[in-house]
Structure formats: structure tokens, C-alpha cells
Amino acid sequence: MKPDNWKDFTQQLVVDYCNERGARTFTLQDFQAAKEAEIVSFSENNKHPFDKVRQQLQLLRKDGIVSFVDNRGTYTLREPVILKGELSEESIAFVHQKEPNKQEYVRETFARDRGWVKEAKEKFGCYCLHPNCKNTFTKQDKTPYIEVHHIIPLFEGGEDAVWNLTVVCAHHHKMAHFADAEAQLDLRRLFLKIVEKQL
């Protein structure tokens, strides 16, 4: 169904564009160039459709649907939808206990842009960034096994950006998600410091 207002139209257009590219980070210039025909034809009475789209992106930013990655017109789609070809990172949040021995869980899924995963591995290498960690192992194809972790999780407002990513072994990745609150916070501070130095 075609959206009937500029905000919904722009949001759907961003999701479609990110799906077509297989990445949720995009520049305003590339987005508008790729979607020019659709933007112009959405409301033929509007004399400044590209300004209108830019305005709607600001509204979507206020709603937390998109965010700025940098000051050069680069946006990231933050809406919790899984795009085609993305890896997923799951965060399971306990909601409440309904009856004895029964628990209800809500699963929030946040997508990870493969482009950022690749860039994180290129920037930080294929070995766990935790100091003195020896947990990285070699896979059957003789390459090191490494995981890419959002230091500040997407569901807490973290960005899909290289400054918010680190490479970790499976052990430290699990610790970052499931250790007690103090240990998680210590790991977060440590990885932010290490990544800042390396960038």
C-alpha cells in the first residue's frame, strides 16, 4: 500500500533503498539520486521534493528511525527491521514471570550491516582485542575465527559505525552480553578505549 504522507513515504523509501543495497548506512546524495523518480512523482504539486525528503529525514531522526553517522550527510537506518542479507544480533530481554516455573521473554533483533563488519575486521584484525586474550582459534579453512561486537548495543542507542565495533573471541563476546552488569560495563569501557586508540 502506498504511503499517504511524506514521512511514511520517506521511511518506506529508506527501507527499500537499504534493502536494495544490502546495507543500512547511506548518504543523502546517493539516496536522493537513486530514488529521484519516486521522490519527484510522489507529490507532483510539491516544487521542492528533495528539500521535503531532507526535512522528513530530520523528523525520522527525532523519532530514532535514522541517525547521523557523521557530519557529511551519512545516515544509518536504525529501525529494527532485518534487511536482506544481514547478519543478526539478538538481545533477549526478560519481561516477567507469569506463573511459577514459566517465564515470558521478548526477543529484540537488531540487524548488523555486513559492510561495517568487514570494515571492523580490516581495521582491527582477526584476533580478539581484549588484552592478553589467547582464545582466538583457527577454523578448518585455516583462517582465524573472530566475531564482531557492537560495543554499545544497537538497542541501547549504539551506532552501526566502526568506532562502535570491536573484534572479539566467542568467550569475550558472550561476556559482553551475559556477564554481570559491572563486568559488562568494564568490558565496554575497555573496548571503547582500545578502539579509540586504534582509530
- Write out the H or E segment, with its range, that includes residue 87: strand 87-99
Tell me the C-alpha distance between 53 and 13, whole Å: 10
Looking at 1.10.10.10, 3.90.1200.10, 3.40.50.720, 1.10.630.10, the CATH number of the domain 6-77 comes to 1.10.10.10
Residue 72 pLDDT > 50: yes
Q: pLDDT digits over 125-144, tens only?
A: 989 999 989 888 888 999 88
| Domain boundary assignment for the chain | 6-77, 113-198
Which residue has 536522493 as its cell numbers?
A: 32
User: What type of residue sits at position 153?
Assistant: P
Whole-structure pTM value: 0.49
Hunting for cell 514471570 — which residue is that? 97
Average pLDDT over residues 49-67: 89
Q: What is the rounded distance in angstroms from the CA atom of residue 163 to the CA atom of residue 82?
A: 22
CA trace torsion 155, 158, 161, 167 (10° rounding): -80
> For the ranges 20-24, 55-59, 80-84, which has the lowest average pLDDT?
80-84
- Model pLDDT for residues 76-103, shown as the tens digit of each residue: 887 666 666 555 444 433 443 444 444 4
pLDDT attached to residue 98: 41
Q: What CA–CA distances, in Å, run from 14 to 28, 118, 131?
A: 10, 22, 40
User: For position 130, what pLDDT does the model report?
Assistant: 95
Query: How confident is residue 47, by pLDDT bands cut at 50, 70 and 90?
Result: confident
